[in-house]
């Protein structure tokens, strides 16, 4: 499918992240408006909350856009998701007779502040990228034992903390935590010294389920995708994670991109999961291409300095799709709800510059990176800004998510001084 | 403090779980009313939703009891919690001049159906009972390596699944899951064969926080306590839990008692945590008695047969208090919200009949229990009803939680047949 032209002219360039083919969903405010629902088109945001009030969008007897998050639309299910997309295309496509009604509802993106696009019900993070699992496993257990025995049979995941999910642009305060230095016998309570990123995609559950669901049903239930940075305190994690997994190491913050890219927009970019050493059990088997060809990158910018691209990879490097993760998540009968967020797990490619975490890029701190500024980094330093970007490249157009960025602030001098 | 008498005469017997000293909070419905907020007093439920409408309770400009959960009160904070308790005591104490107004707002408990007493925001489960950790560790790693190195320094916990928390009385469907039988090389997708209980207490966060909080502040923020059964699929857990902890093994269901017992009701039963081999770091140190002396028991009843008490223990066996768990949970800056539920971890005492799980009681299935009916059990069989009870024993009165019970139904014959 080629670029579909919009009367919003900035949407029609081949490398713009928000052409008419995309139409991602966000929540924005301006100096004069409270947070409300909007759709990115070119350099503008279409105020769909106002459009619904004006009767330009009417999908339900009840308003769907009167709250500052997209969950009410998500709850409506795939038929209404498709109806909204059709309506938005009709309104915004070149030649639309609604142009004069809509021009007053377009807000320049550079005048808007972005907010969380949806209310996160619960957050689950997976560990389903093979190169990442192989790298981390090799560092901790040696190459022979890198992958745990279950890894090739189920998408390993753990429940994260929904309350810690924040929108791109939110500053991230370096956490304190209990950790044990290698040269000490006993742990201490200290600011994290090995603070890291994890380059991930997040899948958002739209349609709830209440019992085991198939991979196809899981794919049907997914509403859309965001970029996701699972900030990780490696030294806190090393001390706490046995035997019940990561806990406070992952609870400081998880940043997501401001725009939810819908499954419909990503449809042309579907691709297969990789070949498998062991066939998956029937309930997890692929039933079609359920990964997406999305180029991903990470940049790091020391305070006041230019950014260096430190990693480039692609979402198709995942071993398990989000649909397989959601299907596995439901096997026990676990109820899954609208607004549940599933992190893919860190996405790394096979070569060193494709690694999606500093832990891997600096090989546990043993091989520090050199930035374009000449500085070196093993882990994040105070003032560093880390930014994830993603784009699916179509025939003369791109599908983007907006940056997923965050600046790391110094740890509090005394976290209990209040 | 002795029993405080109520004009509701059934509340005045020494072993009744719901004297005026207790006043626990629940949500109930009857044949003629939708779910609403109520307070247990003797054999009755005081309809506080109706009492607020009638103007008998007026704590806020906005109604606090017009929704079928207690979160709005919890959000009001300790001063309003205390004001409600004072008002309830004034209304329900012997000699109250409001008796004639309230008699019409009392519903017999045996005519009511109980519902979830609060909306669970997020659910965290800990592993903070020493005898349980020692027992489980001994089974899996030998007595020498039973406790992980971090165990005596932090309350180990993992995030559970809030969507799976159900109220007592809800039937529990035996889950399917991926597991690997010891005699097989590869895993299979099968109904769980080692389905188990975990006897726990749950602490409910009332006041939110957004940064590290002290143990004292954490104690102040806790609203109340429930009994909690963390249903566990041991065979699914054994296959999935390395390296990121339990996931689907714990996601089928977690049952809680229908009544939230407030911190105020439990105040006379405060007791200290045990002596420690290693002093805790300052931010986790005890700052007063923050455990409670609550007798706990578990019964098992095969389908259609009498129940056998299979375990008796006490909440004071915990190594870490809920306040210490909540303080640890906040160290990373993790935002904690009204309605967050913290499971204590399985509570076992030092001797065999004090063990709070079948895994420990049957020592991994090697030493099956014999019930009073003559049947034996290693793990739960279909049709079994498991019930937790708890009571703090005061001077001529008891503080109860109501039963926390559930019956295990057979696994679906084909979980994907729909």
Q: How much is the pLDDT for A1?
A: 79
Annotated binding site of B for Ca(2+): 125, 198, 200, 230
Q: Do A177 and B331 touch (CB under 8 A)?
A: yes
What confidence tier does A308 reach under pLDDT thresholds 50, 70, 90? very high
Per-residue pLDDT of chain B (418 residues; tens, 9 = 90+): 799 999 999 999 999 999 999 999 999 999 999 999 999 999 999 999 999 999 999 999 999 999 999 999 999 999 999 999 999 999 999 999 999 999 999 999 999 999 999 999 999 999 999 999 999 999 988 999 999 999 999 999 999 999 999 999 999 999 999 999 888 999 999 999 999 999 999 999 999 999 999 999 999 999 999 999 999 999 999 999 999 999 999 999 999 999 999 999 999 999 999 999 899 999 999 999 999 999 999 999 999 999 999 999 999 999 999 999 999 999 999 999 999 999 999 999 999 999 999 999 999 999 999 999 999 999 999 999 999 999 999 999 999 999 999 999 999 999 998 6
Q: Do B188 and A281 touch (CB under 8 A)?
A: yes
Query: Quick one: residue A155, left, alpha or beta (phi over 0 = left, psi -120 to 50 = alpha)?
Result: beta
Out of A186, A246, A332, name the one closest to residue B244 (CB). A246
B123-409 has which fold? Fumarylacetoacetate hydrolase; domain 2 (3.90.850)
Q: Do B212 and A415 touch (CB under 8 A)?
A: yes
- Which residues 93-132 of A are in CB contact (within 8 Å) with B? 121-122, 127
Residues B161 and A333: their CA atoms lie apart, in Å, by 11
Q: How much is the pLDDT for B182?
A: 84
Residues A370 and A376: their CA atoms lie apart, in Å, by 4
Q: How much is the pLDDT for A269?
A: 98
Write out the DSSP string of B29-49: EETTEEEEEEEEETTEEEEHH
The proportion of chain A whose per-residue pLDDT surpasses 70, expressed as a percent, equals 100
- What's phi and psi for B139, nearest 5 deg? -60, -40
User: Is the separation of the CB atoms in B128 and B318 below 8 Å?
Assistant: yes
Residue pLDDT, tens place only, A373-418:
999 999 999 999 999 999 999 999 999 999 999 999 999 999 998 6
Residue range A40-67: average pLDDT?
97
User: Is the separation of the CB atoms in A336 and A215 below 8 Å?
Assistant: no
- What's phi and psi for B205, nearest 5 deg? -75, 125
Q: Do A122 and B251 touch (CB under 8 A)?
A: no
Residue pLDDT, tens place only, A148-200:
999 999 999 999 999 999 999 999 999 999 999 888 999 999 999 999 999 99
The CATH code that applies to domain B9-115 is: 2.30.30.230
Q: Kindly list the catalytic residues of A.
A: 132
Residues A124 and A202: their CA atoms lie apart, in Å, by 9
Whether residue A152 lies within 8 A of chain B, CB to CB, comes out as: no
The proportion of chain B whose per-residue pLDDT surpasses 70, expressed as a percent, equals 100
- Using a CB-CB cut-off of 8 Å, the residues of chain B touching A246 are 244-245
Q: What is the DSSP letter of A147?
A: S
- Using a CB-CB cut-off of 8 Å, the residues of chain A touching B283 are 189, 416
Residue range A325-330: average pLDDT?
98
Q: How much is the pLDDT for A351?
A: 97
Q: How much is the pLDDT for B418?
A: 67
Residues A16 and A42: their CA atoms lie apart, in Å, by 7
Best A244, A249, A328, A418 residue to mutate vs chain B (most B CBs within 10 Å) = A244
In chain B, residues under CATH classification 2.30.30.230 are 9-115
Whether residue A146 lies within 8 A of chain B, CB to CB, comes out as: no
Best A242, A332, A335, A336 residue to mutate vs chain B (most B CBs within 10 Å) = A332
A366 has binding-site annotation: no
- Residue B352 vs residues B314, B356, B379: alpha-carbon distances, Å: 14, 9, 16
Within a 10 A sphere around the Cβ of A197, how many other Cβ atoms?
30
- Using a CB-CB cut-off of 8 Å, the residues of chain B touching A282 are 189
Within a 10 A sphere around the Cβ of A281, how many other Cβ atoms?
15
List Cβ neighbours of B406 (8 Å cut-off, separation of 6 or more): B166, B168, B169, B170, B171, B172, B229, B231, B253, B255, B385, B386
- Residue B29 vs residues A108, B66, B69, B108, B224: alpha-carbon distances, Å: 51, 13, 12, 11, 22
Residues B369 and A22: their CA atoms lie apart, in Å, by 61
Residues A227 and A400: their CA atoms lie apart, in Å, by 10
List Cβ neighbours of B413 (8 Å cut-off, separation of 6 or more): none
Residue pLDDT, tens place only, B317-329:
999 999 999 999 9
User: Is the separation of the CB atoms in A344 and A228 below 8 Å?
Assistant: yes
Residue pLDDT, tens place only, B174-225:
999 999 988 899 999 999 999 999 999 999 999 999 999 999 999 999 999 9
A–B: how many Cβ contacts below 8 A? 196
3-state secondary structure of A225: strand
Query: Could you tell me the two tokens for A84?
Result: 């909204």
Q: Do A281 and B187 touch (CB under 8 A)?
A: yes
3-state secondary structure of B291: strand
Q: Kindly list the catalytic residues of B.
A: 132
Query: Could you tell me the two tokens for B39?
Result: 């307070």
Out of A188, A248, A281, name the one closest to residue B334 (CB). A248
- By C-alpha distance, the chain B residue nearest A246 is B244
Q: How much is the pLDDT for A418?
A: 67
Q: How many alpha carbons fall within 13 Å on the CB side of residue A394?
A: 25
Query: Could you tell me the two tokens for B92?
Result: 């329900």
- By C-alpha distance, the chain B residue nearest A192 is B332
- Using a CB-CB cut-off of 8 Å, the residues of chain A touching B150 are 178, 180, 187, 239-240, 242
3-state secondary structure of A292: strand
What confidence tier does A349 reach under pLDDT thresholds 50, 70, 90? very high
ipTM reported for the complex, 2 dp? 0.97
Q: Do B332 and A246 touch (CB under 8 A)?
A: no
In chain A, residues under CATH classification 3.90.850.10 are 123-409
Out of B245, B278, B334, name the one closest to residue A251 (CB). B334
- Using a CB-CB cut-off of 8 Å, the residues of chain B touching A176 are 212, 331-333
Chain B closest CA to A293's CA: distance in Å? 28
- Residue B70 vs residues A131, B24, B323: alpha-carbon distances, Å: 46, 11, 21
Does residue A87 carry a pLDDT above 80?
yes
Q: Do A164 and B335 touch (CB under 8 A)?
A: yes
The two most distant CA atoms of chain B are separated, in Å, by 73
Q: How much is the pLDDT for B141?
A: 87
Residues B276 and B79: their CA atoms lie apart, in Å, by 34
Q: How much is the pLDDT for B71?
A: 98
- Which residues 386-415 of A are in CB contact (within 8 Å) with B? 412, 415
- Which residues 198-237 of A are in CB contact (within 8 Å) with B? 211-212, 214, 233, 236
Write out the DSSP string of B348-387: --SSGGG-SSHHHHTTTTTS-EE-TTS-EESS--TT-EEE
Best A119, A166, A182, A333 residue to mutate vs chain B (most B CBs within 10 Å) = A333
Q: How much is the pLDDT for B1?
A: 79
Q: How much is the pLDDT for A141?
A: 87
User: Is the separation of the CB atoms in B26 and B227 below 8 Å?
Assistant: no
Best A138, A159, A195, A218 residue to mutate vs chain B (most B CBs within 10 Å) = A159
- Rg of chain A's alpha carbons, rounded to an integer? 21
Give CA torsion, residues A33, A37, A41, A46, to 10 deg.
Answer: -50
Write out the DSSP string of B191-227: E-SSEE--EEEEEEE-S-BSS---HHHHHHHEEEEEE
């Amino acid at each position: 499918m080629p670029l579909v032209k919009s009367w919003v002219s900035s949407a029609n360039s081949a490398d713009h992240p928000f052409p008419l083919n995309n139409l991602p969903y966000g929540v924005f405010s301006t100096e004069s408006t409270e947070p409300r629902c909007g759709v990115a088109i070119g350099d503008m945001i279409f105020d769909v909350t106002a459009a619904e009030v004006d009767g330009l969008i009417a999908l339900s007897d009840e308003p769907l856009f009167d709250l500052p998050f997209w969950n009410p639309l998500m709850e409506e299910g795939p038929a209404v998701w498709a109806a909204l997309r059709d309506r938005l295309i009709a309104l915004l496509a070149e030649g639309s007779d609604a142009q004069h009604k809509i021009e007053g509802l377009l807000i320049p993106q550079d005048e808007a502040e972005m907010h969380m696009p949806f209310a996160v019900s619960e957050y689950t993070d997976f560990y389903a990228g093979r190169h990442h699992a192989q790298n981390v496993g090799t560092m901790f257990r040696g190459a022979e034992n890198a992958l745990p025995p279950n890894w090739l049979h189920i998408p390993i995941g753990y429940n994260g903390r929904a309350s810690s999910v924040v929108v791109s642009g939110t500053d991230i305060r370096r956490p304190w935590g209990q950790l044990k230095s290698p040269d000490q016998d006993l742990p201490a309570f200290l600011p994290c010294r090995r603070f890291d990123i994890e380059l991930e995609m997040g899948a958002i559950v739209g349609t709830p389920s209440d019992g085991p669901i198939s991979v196809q049903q899981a794919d049907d239930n997914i509403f859309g995708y965001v970029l996701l940075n699972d900030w990780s305190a490696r030294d806190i994690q090393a001390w706490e994670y046995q035997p019940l997994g990561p806990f406070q190491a992952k609870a400081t913050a998880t940043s997501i991109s401001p725009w939810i890219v819908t499954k419909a927009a990503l449809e042309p970019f579907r691709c297969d999961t990789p070949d498998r050493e062991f066939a998956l059990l029937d309930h997890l088997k692929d039933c079609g291409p359920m990964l997406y060809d999305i180029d991903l990158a990470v940049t790091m910018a020391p305070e006041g300095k230019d950014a260096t691209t430190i990693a480039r990879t692609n979402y198709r490097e995942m071993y398990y799709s989000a649909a397989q993760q959601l299907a596995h998540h439901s096997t026990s009968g676990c109820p899954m709800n609208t607004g549940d967020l599933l992190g893919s797990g860190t996405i790394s490619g096979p070569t060193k510059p494709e690694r999606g975490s500093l832990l891997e890029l600096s090989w546990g701190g043993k091989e520090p990176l050199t930035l374009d500024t000449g500085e070196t980094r093993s882990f994040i330093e105070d003032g560093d800004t880390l930014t994830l970007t993603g784009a699916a490249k179509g025939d003369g157009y791109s599908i983007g998510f907006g940056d997923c960025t965050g600046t790391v602030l110094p740890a509090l001098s005394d976290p209990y001084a209040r």
